[in-house]
Structure 1
Amino acid sequence: MKNTRKVKDSDSSGVNPRQPCPCGSGKRYKACHGSSGGVVDVPVARPFDGLAFECELVALREFVPSGTARLALKDDREVTLATVLPMAAAALVRADGVAFLGLQVQTRSNDISRDLARALTWLLEAKAGDVLPVVGPESDPGPDPERLQDLVDTAAELPVEVHADFGWWLPEGSEPSGDVALSLERANQAIMPTERIGPAAYWVDAGEKAHLRWVRPEPEERLLAAMARLHARGELTLGEGSRYAGSFRAHGLLVPVWDLDPEQHAREWTAPAAELGARVDAALASLDDEPLTGNERRARDGLLGRQITIR
């Protein structure tokens, strides 16, 4: 008998059930948000996709110790993004009314973007002195929670300011005391000196070595191919005193890392980093017309095996 079962091409959302779910989970739509009853909390591999400042967000969340940035919202309001807030709070309003949204926080869902939107929604209604310790699905004001991309100006730049300490936790002119002073002192002692030397490119003094950690927006396979082309030519470097160390993945993006001479100041690496960036861009553009050679493919295989872990 002929099989006459009809396959549904799409549901009321207009999404083909066989296609990847728009939420970015990597699953087919029918097995994710298109399943019976829907799915609210699924792993999102690239939570900041679609934001012009995606790479900066990854850096601020993963390895910049003390940093802030003004975040522009779609309704023209502004809040201040912060790497770490006192007691690792998700959000707070300082005594002088300045609102902070924390990035380096514990999350209770598998979508950091959604958790940040939850904290941001709370923050816009909070008053001076209010603190949101943690945020998660139970914080949702309704059944269809928004994501950060729904609330902010996705095309805006993110003017990052890196700080030498956490003095910005307090209003200007305030003097910490008691537990606040102790907490501030401990946080300051844990900071590794860090400077931003280019877009999403950060110099970090780790003691015996200094590093360049550079969050890149390109798809991993394409970026590795471009880096392999440079490596085969001996050009995957910032010059004397530098060495490509490896890379790690963070929120769907690849973060290459270079070891640097710690005796040289961060500013001395600004121009070499810009020159390396131009070489990477040129190598990326060349991939469309020039496939990798055998030597370059071997170089890529070597790069694939150089995964590192940061602390």
Structure 2
Amino acid sequence: MAKKNRNRQRAETTPTEPGEVGPRQPCPCGSGKRYKACHGAAGGGDVYVARPFEGLASEGDVVALRELVPAATAPLTLRDDVDAHGRTVTLCTLAPGAVPAVVRDSGEVLLGLQVQHSFGDPSRDLAAVLLAALEAEPGAVGLTDAPGPGPRLQDLVVDAPLDITVHEGYGYWVEESDQSPEVAELLEQADDQAAPTARLASVASAYWTRMGSKEHLRWVMPEPEGELLDALARLHAAGTDTLIPEGRLVGMFRAHGLLTPVWDLPVGTGAEALEDPAADFKTALDAALAEKAPLTSEERSARSGLANRQVTIR
């Protein structure tokens, strides 16, 4: 009987196809529930999109701003058929109070990426919030229920690479007219939680950060997961997956369908010292991605090790 139960449990836990989620595994929407109790349940979730920001020119940066970067902003240009009045819309990592959006007295919309809700398709959720904010009076705009069928962010914006500004803190929350002592105290408390972060200029979607006494580079990569793992395995087996001496590739996050390799760095490295090494690594990575020969036994071993050091955060 025990063996039969183990076999049944194994069947429930192990996905049957690559990318499939087992019933007892965490739901990839990030809710913290098992899949069978969330998007795998009848009525438990109306939609789940594994790669919600696919097709955006800055897909990797949007994922980074949603999951990794404390404080950053980027202007969004809306399509004329969405807003013919030229409203200012600013995409931000975090809006005040983690609300989905804020409409300022000036009419500007702050559209937050880091929010409390999770309805399965963050791109659709952002679009629903944005459309509501364009019709709302000044103040916070929320999203308490799944928005249902409708446009996605890709349908509302003029797609172009984002002009991202990484901030030291959350000063972008406050308009110049609101500089009260109470607001200053609130900002100081929030700023204390923001880890120093910088975006590299030489490559796309790569962010240096210092967390406590440690420094890291976290680089969101849009390549298909299997191909990217093969390429990273080739570089690792060749000893060329380090960016700088004493830095090392330690693992990777998986978020919104993309892998984010993470390098530990020596203390004191900083972002500027990574610009040229990152560009050189991107050249080597592209060459490894183009390689079609089967992996060697050493490369297969390296790939297995890398796959075992993945953490899914969304």
TM-score interval (norm. to shorter): 0.7 to 0.9
Q: Distance in 2 between matches of 1:257 and 1:40?
A: 31
Distance 1:133 1:262, change over 3 A: farther
Q: Distance in 2 between matches of 1:166 and 1:187?
A: 7
Does 2:196 correspond to 1:193? yes
1:46 deviates by: 1.1
Residue in structure 2 matched with residue 252 of structure 1 by the alignment: 257
Residue in structure 2 matched with residue 267 of structure 1 by the alignment: 272
TM-score of the superposed pair, with normalisation by structure 2: 0.79
Q: Secondary structure at the match of 1:244?
A: strand
2:287 paired residue among 282, 289, 292? 282
Q: Secondary structure at the match of 1:254?
A: strand
1:281 deviates by: 0.9
Aligned residues: 266
Does 2:73 correspond to 1:63? no
Contact 2:254 2:311 in 1 (8 A): no
Residue in structure 1 matched with residue 94 of structure 2 by the alignment: 84
1:189 deviates by: 0.6
Q: What are the residue-to-residue correspondences of 1:10-89 with 2, within 5 Å?
A: 41-75=46-80, 77=86, 78-89=88-99
1:240 deviates by: 0.7
Cα offsets for 1:243-278 (capped at 9, x unmatched): 111011001111100001121221111111111111
Residue in structure 2 matched with residue 296 of structure 1 by the alignment: 299
Contact 1:64 1:83 in 2 (8 A): yes
Q: Distance in 2 between matches of 1:102 and 1:176?
A: 23
User: Which region of structure 1 is more displaced relative to structure 2, 220-229 or 233-242?
Assistant: 233-242
1:133 deviates by: 3.6
The one-letter amino acid paired with 1:230 is L
Q: Structure 2: where are the runs of 5+ without partners?
A: 1-28, 30-42
Does 2:161 correspond to 1:157? yes
Does 2:135 correspond to 1:130? no
Q: Distance in 2 between matches of 1:175 and 1:215?
A: 36
Q: Secondary structure at the match of 1:124?
A: helix
Contact 2:103 2:141 in 1 (8 A): no
Q: Secondary structure at the match of 2:310?
A: coil
Q: What are the residue-to-residue correspondences of 1:184-263 with 2, within 5 Å?
A: 184-197=187-200, 198-263=203-268
Question: Runs ≥4 in structure 1, deviation > 2 angstroms?
Answer: 94-98, 133-137, 180-183, 307-310
Q: Distance in 1 between matches of 2:170 and 2:180?
A: 12
Cα offsets for 1:82-137 (capped at 9, x unmatched): 0011110101122333211000001241111111011110122234x321144532
Does 2:108 correspond to 1:111? no
Contact 2:247 2:266 in 1 (8 A): yes
1:309 deviates by: 7.5
Contact 1:96 1:171 in 2 (8 A): no
Residue in structure 1 matched with residue 151 of structure 2 by the alignment: 146
Q: Distance in 2 between matches of 1:282 and 1:275?
A: 11
Cα offsets for 1:260-306 (capped at 9, x unmatched): 1121221111111111111111110123xx22222211211121112
Compare CA radii of gyration and give the structure with the larger one.
1
1:79 deviates by: 1.1
Contact 1:108 1:136 in 2 (8 A): no
Cα offsets for 1:39-64 (capped at 9, x unmatched): 98211111111212111110000010
Q: What are the residue-to-residue correspondences of 1:170-185 with 2, within 5 Å?
A: 170-172=174-176, 174-178=178-182, 180-185=183-188
Distance 1:108 1:210, change over 3 A: closer
Q: Structure 1: where are the runs of 5+ without partners?
A: 1-24, 26-37
1:308 deviates by: 4.6
Contact 1:216 1:253 in 2 (8 A): yes
